Amino acid sequence: MLKAKVLAVAGPAMGLVAGLVAIYAAMSALGYETASFGFLFGFPLLAGAIIMHFRPQGRFRSFFLAVFWLVLTIVLSLVATFLGGLEGAICIAMAAAPILLFAMAGGLIYLFYLRWRGAPGEALKVTILPLLLFLALDALPREPSVYRFSDEVIIAAPPALVFARIKSIPDIRADEVATRPSHYLGIPKPTRAVWTGAGRGALRHSHWGGDVHFLERITGYEPGRRIAWDFEFPEGWAAPGIEDPHVRVGGRYFNVLRGEYRLEDLGGATRLTLTSWTWDGSRFGPYAKLWHLFFFRDFHRAILDLVKARVEAGAGL
């Protein structure tokens, strides 16, 4: 009896998960733009209705149990996508919220329409209309955006000392950098920054973990006041698997443009401000900006807190 009950639930769940993952794999193989309104918002609406439609008979009848069934199926699909190597942790983390939200919306539309009209087939068709709307939005011209993010720290040392020690930062131990949310998604911690050359035109080699090495070409150099640079990501700058397909630096949806340190004399102390500019080629506006902020806030805090701790402790950089 227990086995039959388990199979009655696990069977439809596994079938739905396999179907959703197979559809995603097919769409990717055919070159469909998955970082789109249609995929992130429209298809979850339809998927939510389908998941509700194929609930195990006689089970998950209450509203909350029905929502649990839907959320469980979507979460299992996302996990299967990750375990199957179809997407990385960063992409899944970024996509999870809209997929879950709009799948729930599609499921609720299905349930309410079903209660109102009592026609399952018609209830499924209703969710196709917003899907078509999101597909139409994907046809509109894409307008890229550039975002600017700044963070600061007060350091108990004069600007001349701080300036000298932000140029090169060698031998960074893992315990010197607090573990932040982005690190759980696979972003490595900084390990060293090496300055070569003099003044404007110099080059700083930035190493994160053992598999990431990018460059910072110095474009502005004012001793004791300011350092500015353009980011450069040469071929092979990150080991395979570090970047997710949809958040590749310099790709269709994302890029890191430039950065800047500014130092302000506070009379024996220094306000050190780190600013980064990023490029967003997606269509997701504020939602995309939120994720840019998420990653660069962690990036900034890792560097600023490290510099503060080393300078104030008198450690040689």
Residue 305 CA to its chain's centroid (Å)? 22
Strand partners, 114: none
Q: What is the pLDDT of residues 210-236, one digit of tens each?
A: 888 999 999 999 999 999 999 999 888
The span from the CA of 74 to the CA of 43, in Å, is 12
Structure tokens at 235: 């071929």
Average pLDDT over residues 140-161: 91
pLDDT at 58: 62
Sequence-ordered strand ranges (E) for 197-269: 203-208, 212-222, 226-232, 254-265
The span from the CA of 36 to the CA of 201, in Å, is 39
Nearest to 48 by CA among 126, 100, 113: 100
The span from the CA of 255 to the CA of 258, in Å, is 10
Domain 145-313 adopts which CATH fold? Alpha-D-Glucose-1,6-Bisphosphate; Chain A, domain 4 (3.30.530)
Which of 299 and 141 is assigned the larger pLDDT?
Answer: 299
DSSP 42: I
pLDDT at 101: 92
The ranges assigned to domains in the chain are 8-138, 145-313
Residue 317 CA to its chain's centroid (Å)? 31
- H or E element, residue 132: helix 128-138
* Side chain identity at residue 283, one-letter code: R
What is the pTM (predicted TM-score) of this model? 0.83
> Given a cut of 70, is residue 119 above it in pLDDT?
no
Q: Are 171 and 192 in contact (CB under 8 A)?
A: yes
pLDDT at 123: 58
Average pLDDT over residues 193-200: 88
Nearest to 211 by CA among 183, 181, 241: 241
Structure tokens at 59: 């089970």
Structure tokens at 244: 């997710």
Lowest mean pLDDT among 48-62, 174-188, 195-209: 48-62
